[in-house]
Structure 1
Amino acid sequence: MSAKWTDQRLVRVDRSYDLERASDGFSRFGEYLRLNASLFRDAWRDEPAPVKDPAEFAVHAWRVATSPVMAPGYVRCRPDLHGVTLHRDDYDHALYAEVRVPLRHHHLYAGEKKFPYAWQDWEAERYDAPFPELEEPRETKRPAVLASAVVRVPGGEWSGLVTPSAYEGRTLTNEAMETVSIVVQYVNEDAGPIVERLLS
């Protein structure tokens, strides 16, 4: 991956790894799309047809492109975050994204308020990394305060999302790649500054 993580880059596509690990010589992501082909068929039609809603297509493509369906994913999430997911509103089906952000104790301090030293925090394997992966503490005999925030950004105005023309094959793979690349751009643009401010 050529693009490095930054304070506002939360997600990125790893096309090089995807191509290198593709058993068909084209895309590992495409193989996972094939295994999850039912997600991309219109459930309301008797004859096989692709879903027609770009938001629905984006949600399904993103789900397949990210962990835990693909591990490592076609879309990678910054290591210090606990996931970036896409959803459609239950009421009007509008698209939105959620970023799960672990908050370490120093992010929660206000004025003189500090937690006792004995209270455990999120742990990192490597503290020298700029965005270390944060995990629950292994010790269970001491209290732990493990806080996190959900940053939600609307995607109803995101332009360029693909209306799919296929529910399988190379065309599905190309359209899914295009859609998740667009979502990556918008998530970084819209949620990136919020996450940066939250963690500053």
Structure 2
Amino acid sequence: MAGHRAFWVDDRYDRERGRGGGAGRYAGRFWDEIGEFDGAWGDIAPVTFCCAAWRVATPPVTDPGLVRWHRRILSAKCVRNTWDGSLTARVRLVAPLPAPLAASREWWRDRGWQGWPEIFGQFVKPAEQDLAKAPHLRATVQVDAPVPLDRLPAAPGGPGPAAAETAYRAVAVIVAELDELIAPIVARLESAPS
């Protein structure tokens, strides 16, 4: 099941699309979206800062994002856990039909049920015209998981010269954690029968 990456940082695209002076596109987006970091500066815990860094690195804030993910991943968010203030990752993935529905097609009743449409290998929402023709059943898997704080950089005291680099490092740490966590799930979903 090896070989399926779930998350990665697209450094090449980021550098090629940067504003010059060696700074990548993410550094520019960081400064464009500096308001995302309000309330995060100097926080004793890095969670609010890291969640803001993640939002700026991913769609819809930056599209295409600095962070890329496998075609089965529909969304990936980082949020502060309201119970203890830790960082929680929320990842939604395209999944095959659950076993009770896949075991028998009796429930279809000749209605022409459709699953996830694919365009150029990417899972997409069905178009309105397709929804008008046939019912769609699109299964997903929701992963909610803690992200350890020990490798995350500390939140900077303010929007100084090193703040964009700190945000980039935070994103890279989260990407590594999520890839390790989600890649085995993606590999299993990819090997499951359709």
How does the TM-score come out when normalised to structure 1? Answer: 0.80
| Corresponding residue for residue 33 of structure 2 | 36
2:117 is aligned, of 105, 115, 123, to 123
In structure 2, do the counterparts of structure 1 residues 154 and 198 end up closer, same or farther at CA, with 3 Å as the change threshold?
farther
CA distance in 2 between partners of 1:50 and 1:24 (Å): 29
Q: Is the 8 A contact 2:90 2:145 kept in 1?
A: yes
Amino acid at match of 2:54: W
Cα distance in 2 for residues equivalent to 1:121 and 1:198: 15
* Aligned counterpart in structure 2 of residue 77 of structure 1, from 52, 60, 69: 69
Please state if 1:197 is matched with 2:193.
no
Of residues 68-77 and 31-40 in structure 1, the stretch that sits farther from structure 2 once superposed is 31-40
Cα distance in 1 for residues equivalent to 2:44 and 2:28: 22
**What is the aligned partner in structure 2 of residue 109 from structure 1?**
99
Q: Report deviation, 1:17.
A: 1.1
Query: What percentage of residue pairs aligned between the two structures are identical?
Result: 28
Letter in 2 for 1:175: T
SS for the counterpart of 1:164 is coil
Query: Which sections of structure 2, spanning at least 5 residues, go unmatched?
Result: none
Three-state SS of the structure 2 residue aligned to 1:82 is: strand
Q: May I ask how many residue pairs the two structures share in their alignment?
A: 182
SS in 2 for 1:167: coil
- Deviations 1:7-64, CA, capped at 9 Å, x for gaps: 3x21110111111111133121111111221232437xxxxx5444211111110010
> For the Cα contact (< 8 Å) 2:72–2:186, is it kept in 1?
no
1:151 and 2:151 matched: no
Post-superposition offset of 1:123: 0.7
TM-score scaled to structure 2, two decimals? 0.83
1:158 and 1:51, CA in 2 relative to 1: closer, same or farther beyond 3 A?
Answer: closer
Question: How large is the RMSD of aligned CA atoms in angstroms?
Answer: 2.3
Q: Structure 1 CA distance, aligned partners of 2:145 and 2:115? A: 27
Q: Deviations over 1:148-175 (max 9, x none)?
A: 12112111x3421011225325411110
Give the aligned partner of residue 100 of structure 1. Answer: 92
How far apart in 2 are the matches of 1:101 and 1:52? 33
In structure 1, stretches of 5+ residues that fail to align are 44-48, 127-131
